[in-house]
Amino acid sequence: MFRTILAGWIVVLSLINGISAHVEQAKLEEECKIADICRHDQVPVCGIDSCGEMRTFIDTCDMHEFNCDSKKDFSQKPTHECWVTCKRGRSFKKPLYNADCNSVYKN
């Protein structure tokens, strides 16, 4: 009985992992498509990723290109949030932001 339940959970978890990887790949492909058609406007933007890394970008197109090239997931935040923590093209990691990240960063 226990082995059957354990085997069932293993199957469920492997399916979830496969779906998650597919979604991440789809998001990455979308970032690359946006980067290909995007027109640069030179309006600086602040971005933050799922691990809490904050970074400034030249514009939103630059952020999409960076996400595509480096397989990251930065999303736009209000520009003033980056002014205090980072300069253009530099990054800052918030401590203890996401438990899924490989390591915990401290400033």
CB 31 within 8 A of CB 47: no
Does an H or E element contain 47, and which? strand 45-48
The pLDDT assigned to 101 comes to: 65
| Residue 44: strand, helix, or coil | coil
Cβ atoms of 79 and 45 within 8 Å: the answer is yes
User: Selecting from 2.70.150.10, 3.30.60.30, 3.40.50.10490, 3.30.9.10, what CATH number does the domain 2-93 have?
Assistant: 3.30.60.30
Give the pLDDT score at 68: 92
Model's pTM, two decimal places?
A: 0.62
Give the start-to-end residue ranges of the domains of the chain. Answer: 2-93
C-alpha distances out from residue 10 to 21, 24, 54, 99, Å? 16, 21, 36, 22
Question: Quick one: pLDDT band at residue 6, thresholds 50, 70, 90?
Answer: low
